[in-house]
Amino acid sequence: MSFFDKKEEVIEMKLTEYGKRKLQLGRLNPTFYAFFDDDILYNTNAAGFTEAQNDADRRIRFDTPALKVQKSTTGAETRVNQFLDDVSGPLQETGSAGEYIISENSVAFVNAFQDTPQFAQKFFLGSDPLGTSDLKTQYAPAWHINALEGQISASQYYQTVNLTSSNAGLANGIVRNIPQIDITIDYKTFYSSDDEMDDFTSAQAEKIIRLTEDNPTGVALYLEENYLVLDVVERNSDNLKENFEIEVFLSGSDGTYSKKTFLTTETLGDVIGDQSVEFYANILVDAEMPNEAIDRLNIQESTLKGTIARTQLSRNLYTSDNEEPC
């Protein structure tokens, strides 16, 4: 066992005994790779000391020794004994001297000899690989976003942020590889009489709220609510309930962004200010969706309120008023 010289060495690759066996048979076909950080201590409280955040960067990158590749986790004697036990199964012991002879089914012996795993080095030596990529697919993690209510009007694969500079000759923009999706939500207000309200369909009437009281004219002010419902799934990854984190930013006219915070159980009694997300919009996830929105979109409640891993929302198209059955 030895340590990396971080000033001269960057990466080292070695084949395990099982990998050497696959290479010998011409069956070594590497497809995936993974990175591990098992040798890094992030929470110093577990080690009995504290440090500043800036000190943690130097400690992890430069002061933490990194072990070189340990391609085997068992001793040579242990591996030989394992190999003998696996191969001796199809043999029969005979005679006082304990000799072995090949059983009548010689195919079983050949298969056992060829199929014996080479010293059990088939799996990662590390415990938890970094990232959430699904190791059963060759594709990288990707977003799948479907607008169930609302319409995507435009999109682009990047975000441009304007930066000011005292030097007019310097570029004043930076491009970030963050996909942008444009969706406009329109809340309509209108005056209408009671007779005209009867012309709305039941689906339309569910989204209309009366804002004024009865008056002699018979005309009232109404608000037509609107929802944005997104079905967001991260594909080619381990789809768990906690896959996503939602952050909300308010875009200014000068191209700047200010981050807003969600109310928590500790701040529910406080006055909602302009620094809170709830000051601008209600953002609900999964089982928090209003029942009227679930019913109108014909979403199966099992995909919202289940405890299983996250799945794509299921819709019953045969009871929808707005779609033709497939």
Q: Walk along the chain (326 residues) in steps of 10 and give the mean pLDDT of each run.
A: 77 81 86 80 85 84 80 74 69 56 58 55 60 78 86 84 54 71 87 79 78 83 86 79 79 78 74 86 84 82 65 58 46
CA distance 1 to 17: 17
Which residues are registered as beta bridge partners of 147? 230
pLDDT at residue 107, as a whole number = 65
Which residues are registered as beta bridge partners of 20? none
Helix, strand, coil % over all residues of the chain, rounded to 5: 20, 20, 55
At 285, the amino acid letter reads: V
pLDDT at residue 39, as a whole number = 79
pLDDT at residue 326, as a whole number = 41
> Cβ of 119: how many Cβ atoms within 10 Å?
21
| 3-class SS of residue 74 | coil
**Cα–Cα distance list, 150 to 159, 227, 246, 252, 256 (Å):** 22, 7, 19, 23, 26
CA distance 44 to 237: 30
At 126, the amino acid letter reads: G
> Cβ of 254: how many Cβ atoms within 10 Å?
7
CB 195 within 8 A of CB 167: no
pLDDT at residue 100, as a whole number = 56
pLDDT at residue 42, as a whole number = 85
For the chain, what is the largest distance between any 2 Cα atoms, rounded to a whole number of angstroms? Answer: 114
pLDDT at residue 110, as a whole number = 65
Spatial CA neighbour of 183 closest among 229, 226, 152? 152
